[in-house]
Amino acid sequence: MPIVVNLDVVLAQRKMTLSEFSERVGITLANASILKTGKARAVRFSTLEKICDVLDCQPGDILVFEKD
């Protein structure tokens, strides 16, 4: 998959648990886990905005395009 999700790295840098993250963003723990493992097929812009707000980051800090 050419889009790599670095959510686990950013969470570790912020010393934030997945539970705390999911609660603050307003998504289920299951959906947060799907995002963290890179198995998500899509992300709503409104969710991405909330993630960036909660983690004080840019979308490019979480989502990276890598050519095969």
pLDDT of residue 1: 61
* Total count of domains within the chain: 1
**Domain with 33 in it:** 3-55
**In Å, how far from its chain's centre is CA 57?**
10
pLDDT of residue 56: 97
- Find where tokens 């969470």 sit: 11
**Position 21 in a domain:** yes
Tens place of pLDDT per residue across the chain (68 aa) = 689 999 999 999 999 999 999 999 999 999 999 999 999 999 999 999 999 999 999 999 999 999 87
**Position 67 in a domain:** no
CATH assignment at residue 26: 1.10.260
Q: What whole-number distance in Å separates Cα of residue 54 and Cα of residue 68?
A: 31
